[in-house]
Amino acid sequence: MYFQAIKTEGLAQITYILGSEGEALVVDPRRDADVYLDVLRRQGLRLRYVLQTHRQEDFVEGTSALARIAGAQVVAGRHPITGHADVRMGERERLHLGALTLVALHTPGHTPESMSWAVYLDPHHAQAWGVFTGDALFAGETGRTDLAAPERVYENAALLFDSLHQKVLPLGDQTLVFPAHGAGSVCGSGIADRELTTLGFERLHNPVFTSSRSDFIQRKVQERLHRPSYFSRMEEANIRGGVPLSADSSATPFLEPKRFQWASHSGLVLDAREPESFAGGHIPGSLNVWMQGLSVFGGQMVQPGTPLFLVLPAHADSKEAVLALARVGLDQVEGILTGGFGAWRNEGLPIESSGTLTPEALFSQMEGFQVLDVRERSEFERGHIRSARHAYVTELEECLSELGLREDHPVAVVCSTGHRSGLATSILLRNGFQLVSNVLGGMSAWRRLELPVRTGSPSEVEFEQATRSMGTEEQDASPPSPS
C-alpha cells in the first residue's frame, strides 16, 4: 500500500495518491501534475483512476489532463452537474484498486455533487480505513455552504449536516479523514491546523458533530466569508475537468530591464518580493503580491487576459511563481525581469519607493496617519487599532472613494503581518496616494507589543472623531488580547 498527501502551498490544497499492488489513483489533482507523475514512477505505480470529490472553486483542476497523460479514467459521482467523467458511480458503488476497495458516498451540502470516498483495506469492507471528504469535512470545520447557491445557505447547511451525520460519521471513529484543504484555505474559515485527523477526533471536536443540527445551520447561515471573484472562472474551467497546462514555465521569457519596461506597458507588473523590499524600491505601477500569495491574491486581483510581468525575489523562484499563477488560471505571464529588481535599479530606470512603519512608530504618532486595516472583516472585528478604517484588500480599489482617505495625507496600512498591507500599499500608490506606509509586522506585532486594540465592526467606529481624539482616549481602549 502506498499513500501520500501532496500539499499545494498558497492554496492549502491537498491531493492524495493511493496505491496498491502496482495500481494507483489520484484524488483531486491540480494542474501542474509533474509531481504526481514523478511519485507514480518512483513507486512503480500505474495510474488507473483520477478521483473527483467535487468541482473545485479555488483552483484549476488537472483532472482531465492527468487522466489523459497517464491513460487513466476519471471517476466521479452521478449528480447531473458533475462534469466529464469516464466512470460515474452511484451511492455505495465500489471501486477496486489492487487489494483496496473504495465506496462512493454522495455527500452534498458544500456543492450539490460533492462525493466522499471511503477506503477499505479488507475485501469485506467491514470497517473503513479512511475517507476522502473533499470540501465536505475539514479538520475542525466544514465546507462553505454559500458558494453553489448563496440564497440557499440554509438548505445547503442542512444538507451538509445530514450528509456528514448519515453517511460519513457511521464509518466509525477509527476512520482517517482526508479532506481537500488544510488550514489557510479560502474554502473554509476555521480549518484547524492539525496535519492529520480521524472521524473519532472530529466527532469530539468538529462543530458539525458537537453542535445540534439547528445550531450548526444557524452558524453556517451567519458565516460571512469573502467570495473571491475568480471562483466562477475556476468552476467554469473545472466543469470540463480543468485545463491542461498550456506550456511549461521554462518557456516564459526572461526580459532584461529595458525590454521588460517596454513590454510591460501593455500589461501589469506583479512584484513578488517581500513587502519591505517593495517599500525600499519598486517599479512604478507594480502590484506587490508576495510569493505565497500569488495564487489566491493573484487570482483575485488580476483580470484574466491581462498580460503579466513578474519581478521575483530570486531567479530560483521563477518556476514556482509561474505555476502559482497558472494554478488559478492565469497563464498569461509574458515576461520575468532578468536579474530581478537589482538589474532594473542598475539601469537607472524609474523607481518608486514607499514607507515602512513599525507598530511603535505608528502608535507614537497616531495623529499623523490615516490608518487603513485591510484584513478580512472577521479579523478586523476581533480586534483593530481604534482609529482604523476598514476595507478588505481585494475590495479596496472599488470602495476606495467611500473610505474618505485623503491622497495627500499619510496613510498607514495594516494587516496581520505585512503582506496584504503590502498589496494594499501598492494599490494605493497606483491610485495616486503619495504618502503610504506599510506597518511591518501588522496587528500580529501590534498585539505582541501589547498596544491597545478595540473590537467591533467598522460601522460602529466613528472615524473622524476617533482620529481627532486618539491621543486622549488610549487609556480606555480594550486591553490587548493574547496573541
Q: Which of residues 97-126 bind a copy of itself (CB under 8 A)?
A: 121-122, 126
CB of 314 to a copy of itself, least distance (A): 6
Cβ proximity to a copy of itself: between 172 and 267 the closer is 172
User: Left if phi > 0, otherwise alpha if psi is -120 to 50, otherwise beta: which for 121?
Assistant: alpha
Residues 298-337 within binding reach of a copy of itself (CB under 8 A):
313-316, 318
Task: Identify the CA nearest to 269 among candidates 283, 254, 250, 253.
Answer: 283
CB of 342 to a copy of itself, least distance (A): 6
Q: Could you give the residue ranges of the DSSP H alpha helices within 247-373?
A: 257-264, 275-280, 294-301, 318-326, 340-346, 359-364
| Of 31, 110, 220, 273, the one binding a copy of itself by CB under 8 A | 273
Instruction: Decide: 107 and 168 in contact? Cβ < 8 Å.
Output: yes
85-91 contact pairs (CB < 8 A, 24+): 85/52, 85/241, 87/49, 89/115
Instruction: Match 491597545 to its residue by C-alpha cell.
Output: 452
Instruction: Decide: 24 and 97 in contact? Cβ < 8 Å.
Output: yes
CB of 304 to a copy of itself, least distance (A): 24
H helix and E strand count, the chain: 17, 24
Instruction: Decide: 100 and 48 in contact? Cβ < 8 Å.
Output: no
How far is the C-alpha of 433 from the C-alpha of 271, rounded, in Å? 19
Cβ proximity to a copy of itself: between 250 and 475 the closer is 250
Cβ proximity to a copy of itself: between 117 and 341 the closer is 341
Residues 191-250 within binding reach of a copy of itself (CB under 8 A):
193-205, 248, 250
| Of 166, 174, 229, 246, the one binding a copy of itself by CB under 8 A | 174
9 binds a copy of itself (CB under 8 A): no
22 binds a copy of itself (CB under 8 A): yes
How far is the C-alpha of 467 from the C-alpha of 473, rounded, in Å? 10
CB of 227 to a copy of itself, least distance (A): 27
**Which region among 56-64, 223-231, 350-358, 465-473 touches a copy of itself (by CB under 8 A)?**
350-358
| Of 245, 272, 279, 388, the one binding a copy of itself by CB under 8 A | 279
- 3-state class (DSSP) for residue 411: strand
Task: Identify the CA nearest to 182 among candidates 4, 8, 379, 377.
Answer: 8
Cβ proximity to a copy of itself: between 38 and 236 the closer is 38
Task: Identify the CA nearest to 416 among candidates 395, 438, 441.
Answer: 441
How far is the C-alpha of 140 from the C-alpha of 107, rounded, in Å? 17
CB of 464 to a copy of itself, least distance (A): 29
Cβ proximity to a copy of itself: between 63 and 467 the closer is 63
Cβ proximity to a copy of itself: between 120 and 231 the closer is 120
- 3-state class (DSSP) for residue 156: helix
11 binds a copy of itself (CB under 8 A): no
Number of residues interacting with a copy of itself: please give it, by CB under 8 A. Answer: 93
**Which region among 32-40, 363-371, 379-387, 388-396 touches a copy of itself (by CB under 8 A)?**
32-40
How far is the C-alpha of 400 from the C-alpha of 457, rounded, in Å? 18
254 binds a copy of itself (CB under 8 A): yes
| Of 189, 211, 249, 417, the one binding a copy of itself by CB under 8 A | 417
400 binds a copy of itself (CB under 8 A): no
CB of 459 to a copy of itself, least distance (A): 29
Residues 37-76 within binding reach of a copy of itself (CB under 8 A):
37-38, 40-42, 44-46, 69-71
Task: Identify the CA nearest to 421 among candidates 318, 290, 259, 267.
Answer: 290
Cβ proximity to a copy of itself: between 109 and 442 the closer is 442
How far is the C-alpha of 97 from the C-alpha of 121, rounded, in Å? 10
| Of 36, 49, 59, 129, the one binding a copy of itself by CB under 8 A | 129
Residue type, position 458, single letter: P
CB of 4 to a copy of itself, least distance (A): 8
115-120/100-106 β-pairing: antiparallel
| Of 91, 215, 276, 462, the one binding a copy of itself by CB under 8 A | 276
Which residues lie below 8 Å from residue 171, measured CB to CB, with a gap of 6+?
118, 128, 131, 199
CB of 296 to a copy of itself, least distance (A): 18
| Of 6, 221, 343, 477, the one binding a copy of itself by CB under 8 A | 343
